[in-house]
Amino acid sequence: MAEGETITGNRALQIEEPLLFEMDAPGQCGVDLPDSGPFEDRLGGLERRNPVGLPGLSEPRVIRHFTRLSQKNYAIDAGIFPLGSCTMKHNPRLNERLARLPGFAQLHPMQPESTVQGALALIDTLADWLRTLTGMPAVAMSPAAGAHGELCGTMVIRAALDARGEKRSTVLVPDSAHGTNPATAAMCGYAVEPIPSNARGRVDLALLKERLDDDVAAFMLTNPSTCGLFEDEILEQAEAVHAAGAYFYCDGANFNAIAGRVRPGDLGIDCMHLNLHKTFSTPHGGGGPGSGPVMLSEALAPFAPLPWLVHGAEGLRLVERAEGEAARAIGRLKSFHGQFGMFVRALAYMMSHGGDGIRQASEDAVLSANYVLAGLEDVMSLSYPGPCMHEMLFDDRFLKGTGIATLDFAKAMIDEGLHPMTVYFPLVVHGAMLIEPTESESRQSLDVFIRVMRALAERAKGGDTAWFTGAPRLAPRRRLDETTAARQPVLRWLPEEASAEKAAE
């Protein structure tokens, strides 16, 4: 056997793990349930006739399975996770503990309102913090995540325009906008039109003004932008948008750079979704669940989705029907009352930081990003001059002629124990590398990051192409074949005989 190879294929702490279904030990079970006893069923003859096909496993086997899987994941708990525009900051464990208090976690969403006044007060308190931080008068709490919040905001704008009796058909989106914008607009019957950036990486104000007319429903800005820049002409943008009778939508994905220092309401924003899982530290959980409350101006508030939380004579109550004060609501976007478990976590984070700490966190995020920028700008190619906000954008000019692409550079970071930055986004520059260190990192951690990135950049320029194109070598897996995965999709486990049959087809 060659050095490094093992009998099992395992590598010490990295243990190869089969699928649950490949470990089936019929008769084993990871739970003990009481016997149902005799009863006469009321299934009307609709009893299941066939086995489900689930594997039988004991509790220790299940724990071991998922523990081994967990060891194949990178996570913020393990190291710096500088994914630009994703805000991978520390997830406090206090938040987890509080979300699990039985008085929150074990509340049924359809309990009578009199039995959930504490939960409703929590939502109301969180809404207050959000209103204060944004300087915007209303908030829709139910959207499930950022993209859902964007859908909500766009629908609210559409409803408001409908109520004004205006038929507008275009939403203007800067070419550096966050990824999900066009999908959302299309669902509300709007066509998306890009507004190019200027040489400074900001929205070209002259082009924006030129394009604004009575066919434009909204301008959807991301500020700070995905180039890591504050839109320094945002007040002029707002004025122009409003002069055209359109609404000013802001994607709040990057609110974490300015929270506590700048209020979007003061910038002329009419509508903005926030990502509680970005700015307010609720965990990303490997891809959800998130939470995407939407801040609304006075003019848009009447169209907020159901349910509404209102103060009544007998305490807080939920308005679950589009009638009375909520007659113009766009309807429901989600079951029940939103991502309540995420509300608990976000509020715990806000209370821990306080108004002073939220501001400090924003400043530290911006300072850390600028520190990294200063540490790297001479060896990598910065797309736009600083200072940056909470993230900075590099492109692949520094790799020109090396045969190394942005992706290769990212994969080499993996071997160094760093999670790569966001790559190939935004689309406004070639081979984008968007780095967001967040306020959670210590200076030592930032120094290590800078040192490794510098060394990799030097190595790349030195022509060691194979080092990069062959990376990663030390991760649980090397590069995966995405073409085969998409050409012959295998999307579930099948029993061996079924797999063989399928292959023979």
- By the rule CB under 8 A, 83 interacts with other proteins: yes
Q: How far is the CB of 5 from other proteins (least distance, A)?
A: 11
Positions in 238-277 near other proteins (CB under 8 A): 258, 260-263, 266-267
Q: How far is the CB of 153 from other proteins (least distance, A)?
A: 12
In the shown chain, the binding pattern of residues 435 to 464 toward other proteins, with x for contact by CB under 8 A and - for none, equals ----xxxxx-x-------------------
- Residue closer to other proteins by CB (options 367, 461) is 367
Q: What residues pair up with 382 in beta bridges, in sequence order? A: 394
In contact, 380 and 453? CB cutoff 8 Å? yes
Contact with other proteins (CB under 8 A): which of 288, 403, 462, 463?
288
User: Which one, of 226, 176, 201, 219, lies nearest residue 435 by Cα?
Assistant: 226
Q: Compute φ and ψ for 434, nearest 5 degrees.
A: -110, 115
Positions in 373-392 near other proteins (CB under 8 A): 373-375, 386-387
From 206-214, 391-399, 454-462, 489-497, give the range in contact with other proteins by CB under 8 A. 489-497
- By the rule CB under 8 A, 500 interacts with other proteins: no
Q: Which long-range contacts (CB under 8 A, 24 or more apart) does 374-378 make?
A: 375/446, 375/447, 375/450, 375/453, 375/454, 376/450, 376/453, 376/454, 376/457
Positions in 208-227 near other proteins (CB under 8 A): none
Positions in 171-200 near other proteins (CB under 8 A): 180, 182-184, 186-189
Contact with other proteins (CB under 8 A): which of 4, 287, 324, 401?
287
Q: How far is the CB of 375 from other proteins (least distance, A)?
A: 7
Amino acid letter, residue 194: P
**Distance in angstroms (rounded) separating the CA atoms of residues 422 and 425:** 7
Contact with other proteins (CB under 8 A): which of 136, 138, 227, 330?
330
Q: How far is the CB of 89 from other proteins (least distance, A)?
A: 8
- Residue closer to other proteins by CB (options 381, 422) is 422
For 28, 159, 240, 328, 483, the CA distances from 274, given in Å and listed in that order, are: 46, 20, 24, 23, 35
Q: Can you say whether residue 401 is alpha, beta or left, with left for phi > 0 and alpha for psi between -120 and 50 degrees?
A: left
- Residue closer to other proteins by CB (options 53, 403) is 53
- By the rule CB under 8 A, 1 interacts with other proteins: no
Q: How far is the CB of 178 from other proteins (least distance, A)?
A: 13
Positions in 132-151 near other proteins (CB under 8 A): 132-133, 144-145, 147-148, 150-151
Q: Strand 392-395 vs strand 433-435: parallel, antiparallel, or unpaired?
A: antiparallel
Contact with other proteins (CB under 8 A): which of 48, 313, 497, 503?
48
Amino acid letter, residue 378: D
Tokens for 290, please give them.
């998130």
- By the rule CB under 8 A, 41 interacts with other proteins: yes
- By the rule CB under 8 A, 339 interacts with other proteins: yes
For 4, 65, 123, 133, the CA distances from 15, given in Å and listed in that order, are: 14, 10, 43, 46
- By the rule CB under 8 A, 114 interacts with other proteins: yes
Q: Can you say whether residue 39 is alpha, beta or left, with left for phi > 0 and alpha for psi between -120 and 50 degrees?
A: beta
**Distance in angstroms (rounded) separating the CA atoms of residues 189 and 168:** 9
- By the rule CB under 8 A, 314 interacts with other proteins: no
In contact, 454 and 379? CB cutoff 8 Å? yes
